[in-house]
């Protein structure tokens, strides 16, 4: 599907969805998230037979702790970049904050949820999505809030002596419970239920959606997947802001390869987590 | 012996081309060599526990693993290798089994309880410091008073074993400690193992804390006792052995809490329950949504590029 072509007046056109900045930030998210999960989850599920094995692979508890901290710095980097971008977007009035193109939840999202369930059950047409679907919005805001909570509590545990110089020691108990559970929640959301499904598992993107690597997707795919945005733009005459000739050159190859590599890493990370989580439940 | 026979069988097959008589001759020879080798090895290991008075010639045999003494099955086997590798590998057996001699090893055994008592008490002869501290500890006090809550107080051998006494400065022993205390303090052990310290030591981080780094090993006292390593006065010092920059606030970190129990501080309990509910709701919704989406995708033939988008 990702390799689809559209011959509109002989030129292959694509819809440009993500800027270089957003793609760069997504790389930071992927790398740091994989790194943090790989080094954090074995500690949480220490009773699994696999925990010791994986810990050995990543340098023991000390080694894992070190990688966890390096990846945490990546994590803070993307968090602050995204916050900076959002502040700039709002302050410089780069675009509307609410409305159909926005990542901010709206009433239509609620209607879309109900519409999707009707469609699932064969009782109506598939809702016509705007630029961001409700699950994409959930993904985005959950990750942003999660990063804030998990990062904050992570820092507290990283520097426990400093934390307790102004907070009571029990705050570290809260930090551990919050960090550990939020990490598990985020891992489930990203790896299993929401994000990977959205990127790999749902029919529109199966077996993998290249858009976050290449930045753009074939026009026909776009029109089918985000019909409401397409029509809005058609009406408002803003289609030329997002439609352009397909990029050519070596970068397109590189992007495809990166997609394959990161999908493989993602598959590994999901398997790894499942082994750690499910194993102690069975044995 | 099984392995000896097995190896000989293997050799025997190779010689089937030889005349039968010669084959048997060679087989017998090999068996002889292997057997004498076995005997020589047994003698060597029996003697290597220097001056063990020859006890291992008998007690190093596995068939002593279950003998009947006064109508009850008993394990009288003492693994020679494990003994040798233990911290006491060089001690003669009689250093604890006082009175047992080579000439008449079991003249003492007229009274089994007396012999056992003697062996258990022997530790103090060489480890007087630990014994003194233990005597003054809560466990020591209990051991003189007998039983509390149906559990026996631990003596030296409950925490160290008898014939496989481990060196205490190894990672393995530091990891074992949690299980040792856990035999009698299961709840405390479970909660401890859910903290960072507990997870890290379980997964091999030697520098992390074990039960005895906080509670002490021999001079264990209830935390309400001012002399305890965890009394109000000493608590911070104990943490500071590993966290030199810690100050008073650090000590209110709770080592033994079960976040989902109502005994936990309200804020910890609330956060834990909030997250468990979130996890259940989000995973359930996500799971149903995902399954229905796949169902619809398959039904409409959307997966393999057939049907169009609707
Ligand atoms: C963003 C900054 C983060 C920081 C500063 C941080 C820091 C920490 C620290 C200090 C610990 C204690 C264990 C150790 O010292 O190695 C820890 C544990 C852990 N972290 Fe993170 N972390 C961060 C993000 C994450 C993320 C994004 C995840 C996964 C989604 C994660 C998953 C875990 C898990 C599962 C544990 C073990 C918790 C337990 O023992 O139950 N962390 N983290």
- Please report residues of A whose CB lies closer than 8 A to that of B174: none
Average the pLDDT over B145-172 and give the result.
85
Chain B: nearest CA to A50, how far in angstroms? Answer: 11
Chain A: nearest CA to B57, how far in angstroms? Answer: 40
Which pair of structure tokens corresponds to residue B77? 């086997």
For chain A, say whether B268 makes contact (Cβ under 8 Å): yes
Alpha helices (runs of H) in chain A, residue ranges in sequence order: 20-44, 49-57, 60-91, 107-120, 134-158, 160-163, 170-187, 195-196, 211-214, 219-225, 227-236, 250-282
| Domain match, B94 and B44 both | no
Pocket of ligand 1 from Cβ distances under 6 Å: A 33, 36-37, 40-41, 43-44, 65, 68, 72, 75, 150-151, 154-155, 157-158, 179-180, 183, 186-187; B 196, 199
- Determine the distance separating the centroid of ligand 1 and the alpha carbon of A40, expressed in angstroms: 5
Does residue B97 sit within a domain? yes
Boundary residue ending a domain (B119, B140, B165): B165
| Domain match, B159 and B72 both | yes
What pLDDT does residue B144 have? 85
pLDDT at B41 over 50: no
pLDDT at A124 over 70: yes
| Domain match, B87 and B161 both | yes
| Domain match, B48 and B133 both | no
The closest CB to that of A60, out of B204, B283, B309, belongs to B204
| Domain match, B221 and B233 both | yes
Boundary residue ending a domain (B165, B186, B217): B165
What pLDDT does residue B152 have? 81
pLDDT at B97 over 90: no
What pLDDT does residue B149 have? 61
Beta bridge partner(s), residue A220: none
| Domain match, B79 and B127 both | yes
| Domain match, B213 and B139 both | no
pLDDT at B106 over 80: no
Question: In this predicted model, what pLDDT tens digit does every residue of A218-256 receive, in sequence order?
Answer: 999 999 999 999 999 999 999 998 999 988 888 888 999
What pLDDT does residue B8 have? 36
| Domain match, B148 and B100 both | yes
Which pair of structure tokens corresponds to residue B108? 């003492």
Average the pLDDT over B165-174 and give the result.
94
| Domain match, B149 and B105 both | yes
Number of domains in chain B: 4
- Ligand 1 atom closest to Cα of residue A187: 30
Does residue B59 sit within a domain? no
Q: Do A157 and B249 touch (CB under 8 A)?
A: no
Does residue B9 sit within a domain? yes
Average the pLDDT over A28-47 and give the result.
94
| Domain match, B80 and B148 both | yes
For chain A, say whether B241 makes contact (Cβ under 8 Å): no
Q: Do B286 and A188 touch (CB under 8 A)?
A: yes
φ, ψ at A15 (rounded to 5°): -100, 125
Q: How many CB atoms lie within 10 A of CB B178?
A: 20
Chain B: nearest CA to A217, how far in angstroms? Answer: 15
Q: Do B279 and A185 touch (CB under 8 A)?
A: yes
Alpha helices (runs of H) in chain B, residue ranges in sequence order: 2-14, 20-48, 55-59, 80-85, 112-121, 123-126, 128-136, 138-145, 156-160, 171-182, 186-193, 196-202, 211-215, 235-240, 266-299
Does residue B251 sit within a domain? yes
Average the pLDDT over A50-55 and give the result.
91
What pLDDT does residue B110 have? 63
What pLDDT does residue B302 have? 86
Give kind and range of the element (H or E) at residue A218: strand A216-218
Does residue B61 sit within a domain? no
Question: pTM (2 decimals)?
Answer: 0.87
Distance separating alpha carbons of residues B300 and B310, to the nearest angstrom: 10
Q: Which domains does chain A have, with CATH numbers?
A: 22-282 (1.20.950.20)
ipTM given for this complex? 0.90
Distance separating alpha carbons of residues A22 and A19, to the nearest angstrom: 5
pLDDT at A2 over 50: no
DSSP state of B156: H
Does residue B217 sit within a domain? yes
The closest CB to that of A169, out of B249, B275, B295, belongs to B249
Does residue B171 sit within a domain? no
pLDDT at B197 over 90: yes
For chain A, say whether B250 makes contact (Cβ under 8 Å): yes
| Domain match, B73 and B155 both | yes
- Determine the distance separating the centroid of ligand 1 and the alpha carbon of B170, expressed in angstroms: 28
| Domain match, B243 and B283 both | no
Distances A97 to A82, A105, A143, B31 between C-alpha atoms, Å: 15, 11, 19, 90
Residues 6 or more apart in contact with residue A48 via CB below 8 angstroms = A42, A275, A276, A277, A279, A280
Does residue B58 sit within a domain? no
Percent of chain B's residues with pLDDT above 70? 76
Boundary residue ending a domain (B130, B165, B200): B165
Distance separating alpha carbons of residues A254 and B207, to the nearest angstrom: 44
Cα B177–B181–B186 angle (5° rounding)?
Answer: 125
Burial of A22 (0-12, 13-18, 19+ CB in 10 A): middle
Domain membership of residue B221 as a residue range: 177-256
């Amino acid at each position: 599907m990702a390799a689809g072509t559209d011959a509109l007046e002989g030129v292959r056109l694509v819809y440009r969805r993500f800027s270089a900045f957003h793609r760069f930030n997504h790389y930071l998210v992927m790398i740091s998230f994989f790194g943090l999960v790989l080094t954090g989850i074995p500690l949480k599920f220490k009773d699994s037979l696999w925990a010791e094995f994986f810990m050995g692979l990543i340098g023991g508890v000390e080694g894992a702790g070190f990688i966890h901290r390096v990846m945490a710095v990546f994590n803070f980097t993307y968090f602050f970049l995204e916050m900076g971008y959002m502040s700039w977007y709002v302050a410089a009035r780069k675009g509307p904050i609410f409305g159909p193109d926005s990542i901010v939840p709206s009433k239509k999202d609620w209607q879309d949820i109900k519409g999707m369930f009707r469609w699932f059950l064969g009782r109506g047409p598939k809702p016509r999505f705007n630029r961001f679907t409700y699950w994409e919005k959930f993904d985005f805001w959950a990750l942003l809030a999660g990063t804030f909570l998990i990062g904050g509590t992570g820092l507290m545990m990283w520097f426990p002596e400093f934390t307790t110089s102004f907070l009571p020691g029990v705050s570290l108990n809260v930090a551990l419970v919050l960090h550990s559970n939020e990490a598990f929640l985020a891992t489930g959301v990203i790896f299993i239920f929401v994000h990977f499904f959205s990127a790999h598992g749902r029919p529109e993107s199966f077996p993998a959606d290249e858009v976050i690597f290449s930045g753009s997707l074939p026009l026909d795919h776009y029109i089918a997947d985000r019909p409401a945005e397409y029509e809005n733009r058609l009406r408002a005459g803003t289609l030329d802001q997002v439609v352009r000739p397909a990029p050519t050159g070596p970068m397109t190859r590189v992007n495809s390869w990166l997609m394959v590599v990161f999908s493989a890493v993602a598959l590994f990370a999901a398997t790894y987590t499942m082994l750690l989580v499910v194993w102690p439940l069975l044995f | 012996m099984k392995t000896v026979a097995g190896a000989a069988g293997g050799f025997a097959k190779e010689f089937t081309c030889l005349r039968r008589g010669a084959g048997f001759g060679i087989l017998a020879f090999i068996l002889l060599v292997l057997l004498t080798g076995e005997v020589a090895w047994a003698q060597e290991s029996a003697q290597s526990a220097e001056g063990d008075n020859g006890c291992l010639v008998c007690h190093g045999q596995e068939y002593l693993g279950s003998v009947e003494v006064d109508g009850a099955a008993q394990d009288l086997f003492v693994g020679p290798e494990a003994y040798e590798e233990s911290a006491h590998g060089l001690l003669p057996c009689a250093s604890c089994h006082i009175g047992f001699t080579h000439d008449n090893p079991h003249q003492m055994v007229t009274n089994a309880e007396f012999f056992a008592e003697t062996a258990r008490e022997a530790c103090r002869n060489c480890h007087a410091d630990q014994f003194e501290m233990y005597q003054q500890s809560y466990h020591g006090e209990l051991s003189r008073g007998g039983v509390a809550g149906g559990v026996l107080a631990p003596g030296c051998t409950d925490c160290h074993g008898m014939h496989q006494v481990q060196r205490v400065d190894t990672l393995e022993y530091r990891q074992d400690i949690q299980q040792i205390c856990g035999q009698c303090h299961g709840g405390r052990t479970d909660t401890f193992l859910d903290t960072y310290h507990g997870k890290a030591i379980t997964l091999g981080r030697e520098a992390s804390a074990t039960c005895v780094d906080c509670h002490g090993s021999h001079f264990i006292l209830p935390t309400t006792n001012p002399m305890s390593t965890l009394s109000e006065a000493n608590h911070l010092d104990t943490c500071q052995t590993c966290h030199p920059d810690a100050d008073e606030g650090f000590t209110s970190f709770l080592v033994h809490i079960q976040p989902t129990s109502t005994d936990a501080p309200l804020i910890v309990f609330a956060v834990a329950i909030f997250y468990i509910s979130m996890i259940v709701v989000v995973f359930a919704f996500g799971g149903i949504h995902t399954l229905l989406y796949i169902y619809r995708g398959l039904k409409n033939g959307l997966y393999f590029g057939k049907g169009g988008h609707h």
